[in-house]
Chain A
Amino acid sequence: MKPIATTRSATGIPTGRLAVWWLIASEIVIFGGLLASYVMHRIGHAEFGDYAAHTNTWAGALNTLVLLTSSLSAVLAHEAAEKRDGPRAARMLLFTILGGAVFLVVKGFEWTTEIRHGFTITTNMFWSFYYTAAGLHALHVIAGMIAMAFVARGALANRELQRVELVGNYWHFVDIVWIFLFPLLYIAK
C-alpha cells in the first residue's frame, strides 16, 4: 500500500515525475562537472584534436542515431501508456531497451578496436577523459535499461502505467547527454 505522502500532489505535478526531474537536475551537474573539466583540457591542449582523430566518428554517429530512435520508441511507449494500452507500452519499452543494447554492442566493438590499436584509458589525457565520460554515460544507459525492464514488466499487466513516462524522461536525459558527448569526444579539431 502506498503511503498518503506518495499520492498527494500539492504542486500538481505527480510525485514520481517530480522526483525524476530532481534526479535529472543532480545528474546534470555530475556530467557537467566531468565535461567542464574535459572542455578546459581540450581547449588548453591543442594536441587533443589530433588524439581525437583516432575516434570512430561513424560508430559515434551510428550510436547517436540508435539513441535518438530509442528515445522515439520511449515516446511511443508513453503515448501507449496514456491510452492505457499496457502491452503496447511494454513492447515499445522493449524496443528502447533493444536500442540501448545495440548502443552498448557498438560501443563494445568501438572500444575493443581502439584498445587493440593501443588507445587505452592511460594512453593520454584525451583518452582518459574519453573512456571516463563515455563509460559513465554507458553505466547510465545500463541503469536505464534495467529500470525499463522492471517498468515494462508492470506495464504488461497494466500496472503502474504512469512509470512509463518517468523512465522515458530519464532515458531522454541520457540521450541528451550523448547528444553533447558525440561532438565533444568524436569531432576532431
Chain B
Amino acid sequence: MTTLSTERHEEEAPRASGEEPRPAEAHGAEHEHAHANPVKVWAILCVLLVVSVVGPMAEIRIVTLITAFGIAGVKAYLVAKHFLHLGAERRYIAYALAVSVAFMVLLFAGVAPDVMEHHGRNWKNVAAAKEVERALHEAASDEH
C-alpha cells in the first residue's frame, strides 16, 4: 500500500475544479498502453460463447468441461481485464478479489467431504443415497 507523504496535501491544492482531467492518469499511472478496442473484445467473447454452446453438444464429458467451464473462465478473465480494467488497477485490488474466491474454494474444501460425499469414515448418508437411487431409477423407467 502507498505510504502517504505530507506532499499529498499540497498536491490537492492546485487541483481546483474545472481543470481538465488527465486521461493518462485515468487508471493509475500503471498502464503503458491504450485500452484494447472493446468491440474487438466483445467479438472474441461472442465467438467463445458459440464454442461453449456447441462443445457440449458433442456429449463427451471432457469436451464439455473444457468448452463450457474452461471457456467460462476465459470469458470471465477477458471481461475482468478489458471491461473492468482490473489489470490497470492497483495490484492489491485483484488480490483482495482473489482472496474472496480463495475463501470460496476453502468453503468447498471444508464442506464437500460432508455434503458432496455420501459416505466417509464410519458414516453413510443413507437418505441421500436413497434419493439418488430413486431418481436415477425414475429416469431410467421414464426412458422406456
Contacts and interface: CB of A to CB of B under 8 A. Distances in A.
Q: Do chains A and B touch in the complex (CB under 8 A)?
A: yes
B93 A13 contact: yes
Interface in A63-89: 64-65, 68-69, 71-72, 74-76, 79, 82, 84
A189 B61 contact: yes
Contacts, number: 138
Interface of B: prevailing SS: helix
Interface string A17-49: 000011011101100110111011101111100
A47 B136 CA distance: 6
Given A11-B90, A33-B104, A72-B38, A45 B135 contact: yes
Q: How many interface residues does chain B have, given as a range?
A: 35 or more
Given A29-B103, A82-B21, A179-B76, A65 B49 contact: yes
A12 B41 CA distance: 28
Interface string A140-182: 0000000000000000000000000000110011011001101
B136 A46 contact: yes
A68 B45 contact: yes
Contacts of A26: 100
A1 interface: no
Nearest to A29: B100
A38 to B, nearest CB: 11
Nearest to B4: A10
A24 B97 contact: yes
Contacts of A188: 56
B2 A25 contact: no
Interface residues of A, number: 54
Contacts of A82: 21, 23, 26
Given A33-B107, A50-B139, A25 B72 contact: no
Given A36-B111, A44-B116, A189-B64, 15 more contacts: A12-B2, A21-B89, A21-B93, A21-B97, A25-B97, A28-B101, A36-B104, A47-B132, A47-B136, A57-B53, A72-B38, A82-B23, A124-B135, A168-B83, A176-B79
Interface of A: 8, 10-13, 21-22, 24-26, 28-29, 32-33, 35-37, 39-41, 43-47, 50, 57, 61, 64-65, 68-69, 71-72, 74-76, 79, 82, 84, 124, 168-169, 172-173, 175-176, 179-180, 182-183, 187-189
Interface of B: 1-2, 4, 8, 12, 21, 23, 26, 28, 38-39, 41-42, 45-46, 49, 52-53, 56, 59, 61, 64, 68-69, 72, 75-76, 79-80, 82-84, 89-90, 93, 96-97, 99-101, 103-104, 107-108, 111-112, 115-118, 128, 131-132, 135-136, 139
13 contacts: A10-B4, A26-B100, A28-B97, A32-B104, A36-B107, A41-B116, A45-B128, A47-B136, A61-B53, A82-B26, A172-B84, A176-B79, A180-B72
